[in-house]
Amino acid sequence: MRTLQKKVCLLGDFAVGKTSLIRRFVEGRFDDKYLSTIGVKISRKSFTRDEHLLNLLIWDLAGGDDFSKAGSSYLRGAAGALVVCDLSRQETLAPLEYYASQLRAVHETAVLVFIGNKADLVDEQEISVDELAATAQTFSASFLLTSALSGSNVAAAFDCLAQQIEAQ
């Protein structure tokens, strides 16, 4: 069985749930204690796909100003990214274009999947599905709504990213 290894990144502003999405996907758990990521944290998840083993190296990058300082160097070698906003915070939508553009500047064919996280906070949603879809469309990308808390669509988001990377 052949093995493929791919680097993927999670991009987005601080406190949108990037670390929680990774923790849910890799460890199958959720922790509601917020600890801001400093720099980068790398996780690994391996799974069998068709007739090969796929090793995902998942880079959890700090958001906001911390990303601006060193972000592009962390993006080198990335095959794709989940670009994450917090559906309950409108101000996290506009920066998605910045993060996506930064990755595409380093790797113009990188796969992007836009994520509206915290979909479980239905009563607090400030970002509509249409707004997220329009942002994703700008980059000819897919989008999904997820909840790291419930686990809804988390595996599907990483699977969508992996499938598109493998299709390249």
Could you give the percent of the chain with pLDDT greater than 70?
92
Q: Which one-letter DSSP state was computed for residue 63?
A: -
* Strand, helix or coil for residue 90: helix
| Residue 60: pLDDT over 60 | yes
The arithmetic mean of pLDDT across residues 91-109, rounded, is: 96
| Residue 81: pLDDT over 80 | yes
pLDDT at 37: 67
pLDDT-derived band at 70 (thresholds 50, 70, 90) equals: low
* Ordered DSSP codes for 30-41: ---------SEE
| Residue 38: pLDDT over 80 | no
| Residue 22: pLDDT over 90 | yes
Q: Residues 156, 107, 78, 53: what is their CA dihedral angle, to the nearest 10 degrees?
A: 70
- Amino acid type, 54: L
pLDDT at 68: 64
The answer to whether 122 and 151 are in contact (CB under 8 A) is no
Residue 159's H or E segment, with its range, is helix 154-167
Residues 43, 82: Cα–Cα separation, whole Å: 14
At the topology level, CATH places domain 2-167 in Rossmann fold (3.40.50)
- Pairing relation of β-strands 40-49 and 2-11? unpaired
Q: What are phi and psi of 81, to 5 degrees?
A: -155, 150
The arithmetic mean of pLDDT across residues 67-96, rounded, is: 90
pLDDT at 39: 64
44: left (phi over 0), alpha (psi -120 to 50) or beta: beta
The answer to whether 101 and 71 are in contact (CB under 8 A) is no
